A and B are shown apart, each in its own frame.
Chain A
Amino acid sequence: MRFLPKTLALVSALACAGLAQAADIKIGVAEALTGGAAQYGVSIRNGFQLAAEEINAKGGINGNKIQLVIEDEQGKKEEGINVFKKLIFQDKVLMVFGPTLSNSMFAAGPVANAAKTVVFGTSNTANGITDIGPYVFRNSVMESDVLPVTVATATKHYKLKKVAVIYGNDDAFTKSGYDVFKKVLEDQKLPVTTTETYVKGDVDFKAQLTKIKASNPDAVVCSCLAEEAANIMLQARGLGLKVPFIGGNGFNSPKLFEISKLAGEGTFVGSPWSNTNPAPVNKAFVAAYEKKFGGEPNQFAAQGYDALYIAAAALKDVKLTGDINADREALKNALPKATISGVTGPFKFRPAVTKNGKPGGWDADQKPFIYLVKGGKFTLYDAK
């Protein structure tokens, strides 16, 4: 509904721009706006729209306005490929942001890479994403950078002796999070009492939690998305399981504690972003987002917002020639040097380490925040 007027506005803005001044910079945004992944895709789109508005209000990039071309990839791989092709070959965008899910990135990423067009994922945490090729970038922090710190901090704080694990085993995001947890727990020599799984769409976790309770762990390590995590916490407390939780990236949503209230008390979460991060740039972002969209932002919106600022930082140093192939190449060469201090903290890229040693893309080089949940709120953990 709120989409149509915006598109019209963009079209008319484009028409005026054509007459008045230098060309707009067309940037493709391919996110899942309908279907099961829409809850993430819509947030990401909002983050982009907010950032684009702010950048354009401040005069754009070297006088050029950003024009977002937003398409729905439905969280399906074929749609991802179709949308990428439309954006790259038909709309001739300078670069593409998205897609929402790692699965779609594995399908659509090679298309952009083959077309020598920068593709920039904001929510793809799976291993191997940046193996696709040198045109692939992401600012989504990988779990392998976050979880070791989270687990070590929690172990020290609670003096953990043994933990139980639960994760979603039919989802690429939660499964790869689990793989990292497993390795981290082995590295840090923390014994696992039992490992339980669930599948997407499950709402009843009592069988698994009963089993976990019987195994008597000191904490529950949970590679889950926030929506499921909230139910898991509530049901755990309902069964009398009182130990704290340790979560991954998926936990980081204000929704989690809106729902689970005090059930999540004492949870440790490591994450690139939190709504309570006191940095001024983040406070401004949270306020602007709430004003524009009438709801709290989440991590997905924050990473989309930052991603556009990262691209903008790189574009400042690119002299656009109007030859789309040359401009795409120039952007690809400029982007690795881009750094910002965004709502997710100081950001820079680092070259990906690929499995086969071939040149890969660029991963995020960011330090995670470690949060402890107190009074139903994320509070920055202070080790003292």
Chain B
Amino acid sequence: MLEQQLLNALTLGSVYALFALGFTLVFGVLAVINLSHGAVFMVGSYVALALITHLQASLWVAMLGAMLASGIVGLLVDMLILKPLRARNAPHLIPMIATIGVGIMLTSAAQGLFGAEVLRFPEETLPAGEFVIGDVHVRALEIAIVAIAFLLMAVLFVALKRTQLGRALRAIAESPKAAWLLGINVEGLFHITSFAAAALGGIAGVLIGLNFNAITPFMGQPMLHKGIAVIILGGMGDIRGALIGGLFLGFAEVISKAYLSSQMGDAVAFGLLFLILLVRPSGLFGRKLERKA
């Protein structure tokens, strides 16, 4: 039973990490808590579903389409909403509230278009395959999710560390003004980041949608709650932190469900978050942030 639970924790943690990657990227670069990320994630699921059921697209095409569609949503949000707010130097909370509005709009648009019922991918599109080792069962899809979460994290991490683009992004994360003075195209990079983060959200939506196969207009909301916990645990804006925080949360939840009581799952997640913040004010793995108001 322990082996199976550890595996459950690993997949759940990877799911959280996958979701949190884009979420934390936006915060790291734009310093905005993008509360529409849950809705963008949902958009990814629906776009893939629509491509598969209406256009008989293959899974790969659907995934690409979902990434593109979500990315464009993210880009539009940045260009139409976040950019004017930046230009106006709006107070910290304002962009966050704008993204709440975007989330509401996307959710109700999805409900208008697809209805409130749970929709599913047709069974034949789901990658079959199951491995049984002793008493441990694992599906191919779960292995794929774990692998993709780790892979994306690694790619992003290396891109940020090693490439010109990454250095520019890190410069912006330190100080947008200084980066601008250095001749970095700050606005352009904000757009790219928003696109990439939303595209990541979209692909998370497809993968998680495939894995649990339950797509609703509201599927992003519980994910968003957990996502917040993950990026706090991992340190806000930290790419590695998203993975570490996700895994940490996944393990904490599964272990508490398995060995304490399943009623404790969420209480443990948020209680832990609360306690950790009290002990380490910038998250478990976050570096000390000394940004005073």
**CB-based contact A201/B5 at 8 Å:** no
200-218 of chain A: CB within 8 A of chain B: 200-204, 206-208, 210-211, 213-214
Cβ contact of B212, chosen from A196, A199, A204, A213, cutoff 8 A: A204
**CB-based contact A207/B118 at 8 Å:** no
**CB-based contact B212/A210 at 8 Å:** no
**CB-based contact B212/A203 at 8 Å:** yes
Cβ contact of B213, chosen from A35, A210, A231, cutoff 8 A: A231
- The residues of A that contact B130 with a CB separation of less than 8 Å are 238
In the assembled complex, B265 has its CB within 8 A of some CB on chain A: yes
**CB-based contact B132/A231 at 8 Å:** no
Of A36-44, A47-55, A76-84, A108-116, the one with at least 4 CB within 8 A of chain B: A36-44
- Please give me the residue from chain B that is nearest to A228 by CB atom: B214
**CB-based contact A39/B221 at 8 Å:** no
**CB-based contact A196/B15 at 8 Å:** no
Bound state CA distance, A201 and B11, in angstroms?
17
Q: A204-B212, A231-B213 are in contact. Are A39 and B258 (CB under 8 A)?
A: no
**CB-based contact B137/A211 at 8 Å:** no
- The residues of A that contact B258 with a CB separation of less than 8 Å are 207, 210-211
**CB-based contact A210/B8 at 8 Å:** yes
Bound state CA distance, A99 and B139, in angstroms?
41
**CB-based contact B262/A198 at 8 Å:** yes
| Per-residue interface assignment for chain A, residues 235 to 273, with 1 indicating a CB less than 8 Å from any chain B CB and 0 otherwise | 000111000000000000001000101000000000000
| Per-residue interface assignment for chain A, residues 3 to 47, with 1 indicating a CB less than 8 Å from any chain B CB and 0 otherwise | 000000000000000000000000000000011101100100000
Cβ contact of B137, chosen from A198, A200, A240, cutoff 8 A: A240
| Interface bin, chain A | 20 to 34
- The residues of A that contact B118 with a CB separation of less than 8 Å are 39, 227, 255, 259
- Please give me the residue from chain A that is nearest to B120 by CB atom: A259
Residue from the set A34, A35, A207 with the largest chain B CB neighbour count within 10 Å: A207
Bound state CA distance, A1 and B114, in angstroms?
12
**CB-based contact B137/A239 at 8 Å:** yes
- The residues of B that contact A208 with a CB separation of less than 8 Å are 257, 262
Q: A34-B111, A199-B265 are in contact. Are A207 and B214 (CB under 8 A)?
A: no
Bound state CA distance, A231 and B118, in angstroms?
11
Bound state CA distance, A1 and B113, in angstroms?
10
In the assembled complex, B52 has its CB within 8 A of some CB on chain A: no
- The residues of A that contact B115 with a CB separation of less than 8 Å are 38-39, 42
Bound state CA distance, A36 and B221, in angstroms?
11
| Interface bin, chain B | 35 or more
Bound state CA distance, A240 and B137, in angstroms?
7
- The residues of B that contact A199 with a CB separation of less than 8 Å are 265-266
**CB-based contact B263/A239 at 8 Å:** no
- The residues of B that contact A240 with a CB separation of less than 8 Å are 132, 135, 137
In the assembled complex, B290 has its CB within 8 A of some CB on chain A: no
178-218 of chain B: CB within 8 A of chain A: 208, 212-214, 216, 218
- The residues of B that contact A144 with a CB separation of less than 8 Å are none
Bound state CA distance, A373 and B237, in angstroms?
50
Cβ contact of A36, chosen from B1, B108, B218, cutoff 8 A: B218
In the assembled complex, A197 has its CB within 8 A of some CB on chain B: yes
- Please give me the residue from chain B that is nearest to A211 by CB atom: B258
In the assembled complex, A169 has its CB within 8 A of some CB on chain B: yes
- The residues of A that contact B69 with a CB separation of less than 8 Å are none
Bound state CA distance, A199 and B12, in angstroms?
15
In the assembled complex, B125 has its CB within 8 A of some CB on chain A: no
**CB-based contact B214/A231 at 8 Å:** yes
**CB-based contact A169/B263 at 8 Å:** yes
Cβ contact of B4, chosen from A35, A197, A210, cutoff 8 A: A210
In the assembled complex, B78 has its CB within 8 A of some CB on chain A: no
| Per-residue interface assignment for chain A, residues 352 to 366, with 1 indicating a CB less than 8 Å from any chain B CB and 0 otherwise | 000000000000000
259-297 of chain A: CB within 8 A of chain B: 259, 261
- Please give me the residue from chain A that is nearest to B226 by CB atom: A201
- The residues of A that contact B12 with a CB separation of less than 8 Å are 204, 206-207
**CB-based contact A203/B1 at 8 Å:** no
**CB-based contact B108/A34 at 8 Å:** yes
**CB-based contact A202/B222 at 8 Å:** yes
**CB-based contact A214/B1 at 8 Å:** yes
Residue from the set B15, B112, B208, B262 with the largest chain A CB neighbour count within 10 Å: B262
- The residues of B that contact A210 with a CB separation of less than 8 Å are 1, 4-5, 8, 258
- The residues of A that contact B238 with a CB separation of less than 8 Å are none
Q: A38-B116, A214-B1, A259-B213 are in contact. Are A207 and B257 (CB under 8 A)?
A: yes
**CB-based contact A39/B117 at 8 Å:** yes
Measured CB to CB, the closest approach of chain B to A206, in angstroms, equals 4
Q: A38-B116, A240-B137 are in contact. Are A211 and B1 (CB under 8 A)?
A: yes
Measured CB to CB, the closest approach of chain B to A84, in angstroms, equals 22
Bound state CA distance, A204 and B212, in angstroms?
7
**CB-based contact B8/A201 at 8 Å:** no
- Please give me the residue from chain B that is nearest to A234 by CB atom: B213
Measured CB to CB, the closest approach of chain B to A76, in angstroms, equals 14
- The residues of A that contact B1 with a CB separation of less than 8 Å are 210-211, 213-214
**CB-based contact B222/A39 at 8 Å:** no
Residue from the set A169, A201, A214, A230 with the largest chain B CB neighbour count within 10 Å: A201
Bound state CA distance, A230 and B216, in angstroms?
14
- The residues of B that contact A197 with a CB separation of less than 8 Å are 261-263
In the assembled complex, B62 has its CB within 8 A of some CB on chain A: no
Measured CB to CB, the closest approach of chain A to B246, in angstroms, equals 13
Measured CB to CB, the closest approach of chain A to B193, in angstroms, equals 28
Q: A227-B118, A238-B137 are in contact. Are A207 and B262 (CB under 8 A)?
A: yes
**CB-based contact B135/A238 at 8 Å:** no
Which 3 pairs, one residue from A and one from B, show the smallest C-beta to C-beta distance? A203-B212, A201-B222, A38-B116
Interface CB pairs A-B, < 8 A, 6: A39-B117, A200-B222, A201-B222, A210-B4, A210-B5, A227-B214
